């Protein structure tokens, strides 16, 4: 069922959802531990994943808490991408259609062979138009297809609800992502999927801050969050991985304050992730023009090894 309420109904429903859903989400997101056999984690998503801040926060915090775990974290998010296969008629001024994950996924899985896949789609999948049953079904079909593909390779899957679209930039599209998020969360109960909800906690945070400062925003353009938004995303995912103490940290800097080399390790991990991201995107191929071309994969892996050794040294002195 779509949310198409009168303004008063919408306000009442939103208050209810903002209060109830994040609470349920936080409760159920504390139960998933990364299996001991996981050696390689891959993140799939659009430009928010490609930018990578939340992934570097997650890896850095996890490495600091669990220095004994040997896990490779790889970001292969692609700007503009959808899992629905949809694109606007005049996307990017007509320069190119939105890339479709269907075009590249087999190559990604064949080359990377992940043990665990994080999935974060939705922001682009409604192509910034009001809620529509056909477009919604395309998103559902894409997610179901992706779940089946992950199962085929014997990997674990964690689905992450889309970040919020700022209602001040368009209430209709904010409503689209509310619906997409609620449907994805429902798969926890209908299909026992691992689903981590970042959408409603981000929505509640935005509403709370706007109550104090009407000019506050998480994403200047309504889509791409800054440092605070990426920390909120990382925080909810870390909570879902069992790192319950992160609920008390106000920002990324407070989260790393208790570790002697926390900020230095974060900087190195962010650098390593970016090098490998660009190299893997070059190696696996894609149809998104305008990205920086990565260096050849073998060169990137050598650079990544050098950075990894620096990280190990810093971890030992914590």
pLDDT digits (tens, 9 = 90+) for 96-144: 999 999 999 999 999 999 999 999 999 999 999 999 999 999 999 999 9
| Helix, strand, coil abundance in the chain, percent, nearest 5 | 55, 10, 35
pLDDT digits (tens, 9 = 90+) for 239-272: 999 999 999 999 999 999 989 899 999 999 999 9
* The pLDDT value given to residue 3: 43
* Average per-residue pLDDT for the chain: 91
Q: What percent of the chain has pLDDT over 90?
A: 88
Residue 19 has pLDDT above 70, yes or no: no
pLDDT digits (tens, 9 = 90+) for 59-78: 999 999 999 999 999 999 99
pTM exceeds 0.85 for this model: yes
- Classify residue 307 as exposed, middle or buried by CB count within 10 Å of its CB (0-12, 13-18, 19+): middle
Task: Quote the CA–CA distance of 273 and 295 in Å, as a whole number.
Answer: 13
Weakest-pLDDT range from 11-25, 77-91, 215-229: 11-25
Residue 87's domain comprises 7-249
Find the mean pLDDT for residues 212-218. 97
pLDDT band at 16 (very low <50, low <70, confident <90, very high): very low
* Residue 83 belongs to a domain: yes
CATH of the domain at 19: 3.40.50.1110
* Residue 53 belongs to a domain: yes
* Residue 278 belongs to a domain: no
* Residue 31 belongs to a domain: yes
* Residue 289 belongs to a domain: no
* Residue 74 belongs to a domain: yes
**Count of alpha carbons within 13 angstroms of residue 52, beta-carbon side:** 23
pLDDT digits (tens, 9 = 90+) for 185-213: 999 999 999 999 999 999 999 999 999 99
Task: Quote the CA–CA distance of 247 and 259 in Å, as a whole number.
Answer: 17
Domain count, the chain: 1
């Amino acid at each position: 069922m779509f949310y198409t309420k009168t303004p008063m109904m919408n306000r009442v429903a939103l208050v209810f959802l903002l209060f109830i859903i994040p609470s349920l989400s936080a409760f159920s997101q504390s139960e998933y531990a990364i299996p001991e056999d996981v050696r390689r984690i891959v993140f799939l998503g659009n430009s928010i994943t490609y930018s990578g801040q939340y992934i570097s926060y997650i890896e850095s915090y996890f490495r600091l808490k669990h220095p004994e775990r040997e896990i490779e974290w790889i970001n292969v998010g692609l700007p503009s991408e959808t899992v629905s296969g949809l694109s606007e008629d005049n996307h990017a001024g007509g320069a190119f259609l939105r890339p479709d994950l269907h075009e590249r996924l087999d190559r990604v899985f064949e080359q990377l062979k992940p043990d665990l896949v994080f999935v974060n789609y939705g922001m682009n999948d409604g192509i910034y138009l009001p809620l529509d049953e056909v477009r919604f079904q395309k998103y559902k079909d894409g997610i179901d297809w992706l779940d089946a593909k992950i199962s085929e390779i014997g990997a674990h899957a964690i689905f992450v609800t889309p970040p919020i679209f700022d209602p001040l930039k368009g209430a209709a599209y904010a409503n689209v992502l509310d619906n997409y998020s609620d449907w994805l969360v429902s798969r926890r109960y209908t299909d026992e999927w691992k689903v981590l909800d970042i959408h409603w906690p981000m929505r509640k945070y935005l509403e709370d801050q706007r109550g104090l400062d009407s000019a506050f925003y998480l994403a200047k353009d309504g889509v791409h969050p800054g440092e605070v938004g990426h920390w909120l995303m990382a925080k909810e995912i870390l909570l879902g991985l069992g790192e319950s103490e992160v609920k008390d940290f106000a920002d990324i800097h407070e989260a790393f304050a208790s570790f002697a080399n926390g900020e230095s390790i974060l900087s190195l991990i962010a650098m390593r992730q970016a090098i490998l991201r660009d190299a893997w995107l070059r190696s696996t191929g894609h149809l998104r023009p305008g990205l920086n071309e990565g260096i050849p994969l073998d060169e990137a892996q050598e650079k990544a090894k050098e950075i990894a050794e620096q990280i190990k040294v810093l971890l030992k002195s914590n």
